Structure 1
Amino acid sequence: MKWQALVDNRQRFFWVLQIAGWLGYALVNYIGSKVFEMRDIYVFVIVLNAYAGCLMTVPLRYLYRKIWNAAPWVLILVVFGASYITGTLWAVVQKFNLWEIYRHGYRPEEWFYYLQQGLDSVYIILCWSGLYFGVKYYQLLQSERQKALKANTMAHEAQLKMLRYQLNPHFLFNTLNAISTLILVEENKDANQMVARLSDFLRYTLNTDPIKKVALEQELHALQLYLEIEKVRFDERLSIDIDVSEEAKQALVPSLILQPIIENSIKYAIAHLTEGGKLEIKAQVFANELLLEVGDNGPGAEVYNGQLQNAQGVGIANTIDRLKTLYENNYSFVLSDNKPSGLKVNIRVPFEKAKK
């Protein structure tokens, strides 16, 4: 059984600590009896004393649970009072076991011996009470921590879903506009092909969990579906070059992380080129990191310090937000001028290999 599962089960955790604690008490006393060369019958007395202490402290648990939310001064008074009464009663039991079983009715004459024995028992019960409250506060702290982590995880997942689902309406709006244009110019065959490919692409996006990462190979398949839609629009004007290493294909990436970047390249670069344009998609693994690159040969844009000066649309901002949410500060997203012309996007994320 895992430690955390044991801590969460308060009933079982109490009894484990209760029994282990009193066994430890008995063991310490047994070692002491060997040091002072007590007779073997004293071991039986030790067991009886530990058993009595174990039983007599159980009611304290239920008493402390009832006053748990009381004022601090009430808690202090009850803990000290209950510990004193329980410790005194336990001392009486210990004296009875010692005198009647081990010493066969012998009674010491020194009065301070009685007081010392009683105070020792009270101190032990006070320590038991302190440990009880310490463990109880630890359990509450762990419970609150788990609740906070759960709330943070739920907020994290909700943010990821919101960012991922923003892509579909954005992309769908652009594609439907293109289909509408094709219908208006009576390019019904192309419009039909685009609707069919759009259906396949949307089916993929709906079947993919927005929280989980997917293999880059699967992501490339989704990109092919998307690019087939765009090829209906641009025909031979759109050229695509994909260079991805075999190792990189097995890397885990956020689903549809490249699609908005490629969509931006087509919308703001390729679409403005009369003779058509070229898209380059590259991926490789280096130094346990996945390096992704998307470049175009469009007119380019004004880039300063790795970011667009006049960013348009939600694609780039959405992608950066998703990367930040998933990887915190362990990622990079840099835009730069492509050579000889165009814009290039470089993404670096930790390399995580997909399970087969």
Structure 2
Amino acid sequence: MPNWETLVDSRERLFWTLQTAGWAGFAIIYYIGSFLHDMRSIWLFVIILNAYAGWLLTIPLRYIYRKALTLKPLQMLALVGISLYITALLWAMVKNVNYWEIYKKGYRPEEWYMYFTNTVNSIIMIGCWTGAYFGIKNYQMLLKEKQNVLKASSMAHQAHIKMLRYQLNPHFLFNTLNAISTLILIKDNQTAGAMVNRLSDFLRYSLDKDPIRKVPLIQEIQALELYLEIEKVRFEERLSVNWDVDEQTTKALVPSLILQPLIENSIKYAISKMEGGGQINISAKTFGRDLMLNVSDNGPGADITDGQLPLSKGGGVGLVNIRERLDALYKGNYSFDISHNYPSGIKINIRIPFEISESYIED
């Protein structure tokens, strides 16, 4: 937050800073304006006394005006007007005493209009003080409202990202537990036990990561390896995975578990449909200031319309979830494309800004 907004947000500090600076500025400007009138120190002393009196007399106005803000409009205007007039009248009296008793040493004029002029000037000055007070008060209220709106928006944004991120766990968990249940039914307890152990490791990693924070790609790869170990228990040699990850991309920040649903779709709609199994290719490369992530398979493929898969071909929760997460995190500065992989299969490309964790930069 800028320094000015920090000062405005601190009501006590702001009031005393502006109260002192304002009346000091009044004394300086008044003295400069009347410099040709009198250069003696006694004239400067009178100006300082007047400024100090104004400083003291306007302090109670702060608390009166604070009370006025809680009243109805007409009551507020009446209280502000009366308080302003009384304060200006008291200040005019103090200035008269200072001028005629100290500066003029007891001389008093016969022209009473001079007293009236002094009172009008005091009303104008206290009126300016009042306007500044309510102007700053209004700015404080607008600033506070803006902060509340931003805070509420941020909390809603974070809640939305968390919801999308945690939505993956039940989706993946259901599929894995269903596979374990099948293994138990066919009495393949050893394989089921291996899947349970790997599932435990994967879920521990998943739950330890903050859904709001991005993780280095190397951690995402480690999570995918855990997931693929679970799937290899099911598919054994039928599942082949090819990695093509540039070393410089391993430090790039990505949303946690952003690739797992893509691989899950490839396994479900490609590998499992092929008797001899199939291959999944995972790549990560840089392109300018962007990170390019690619997941493809050599499965039977599917119809693609406007970059979308039909719901029966992997276009369900997983892909919709990823698109919404990317939009929430990058606000349009990304791309998520689904296309045919030649000679067969589906290819999904993700482009996001290339970001590196500060811990890696320091290293």
Q: TM-score range by the shorter chain?
A: over 0.9
- Maintained 8 Å contact 2:302/2:346: yes
Percent pairwise identity: 58
What's 1:141 paired with? Answer: 142
TM-aligned CA distance change 1:78 to 1:293, over 3 Å: same
What's 1:332 paired with? Answer: 335
CA–CA separation in structure 1 for the residues paired with 2:117 and 2:189: 102
What's 1:198 paired with? Answer: 199
CA–CA separation in structure 1 for the residues paired with 2:92 and 2:165: 68
What's 1:280 paired with? Answer: 281
SS at match of 1:34: coil
CA–CA separation in structure 1 for the residues paired with 2:185 and 2:77: 84
> How high is the TM-score relative to the length of structure 1?
0.95
SS at match of 1:163: helix
Alignment of 1:31-46 (within 5 A): 31-46=32-47
What's 2:106 paired with? Answer: 105
- Maintained 8 Å contact 2:302/2:345: yes
CA–CA separation in structure 1 for the residues paired with 2:203 and 2:106: 90
What's 1:224 paired with? Answer: 225
Deviates more, 1:329-338 or 1:281-290: 281-290
1:315 aligns with 2:315: no
What's 2:122 paired with? Answer: 121
Amino acid at match of 2:353: P
- 1:333 is displaced (CA, Å) by 1.0
CA–CA separation in structure 2 for the residues paired with 1:11 and 1:319: 47
- Maintained 8 Å contact 2:262/2:318: yes
Amino acid at match of 1:53: G
Cα shift readout 1:180-204 (whole Å, capped 9, x = no counterpart): 2222223222222111111100000
How many residue pairs get aligned? The number is: 356
Structure 1 unaligned spans of 5+: none
What's 1:256 paired with? Answer: 257
TM-aligned CA distance change 1:176 to 1:309, over 3 Å: closer
Amino acid at match of 1:87: A
CA–CA separation in structure 1 for the residues paired with 2:264 and 2:153: 32
What's 1:235 paired with? Answer: 236
1:63 aligns with 2:76: no
> How high is the TM-score relative to the length of structure 2?
0.94
- 1:175 is displaced (CA, Å) by 0.6
1:20 aligns with 2:21: yes
What's 1:296 paired with? Answer: 297
- Maintained 8 Å contact 1:80/1:126: no
1:349 aligns with 2:359: no
Structure 2 unaligned spans of 5+: none
What's 1:130 paired with? Answer: 131
SS at match of 1:304: coil
SS at match of 2:175: helix
Alignment of 1:122-201 (within 5 A): 122-201=123-202
Q: CA RMSD in A?
A: 1.6
CA–CA separation in structure 1 for the residues paired with 2:73 and 2:321: 51
Cα shift readout 1:69-97 (whole Å, capped 9, x = no counterpart): 22222222222222122112101111211
SS at match of 2:13: helix
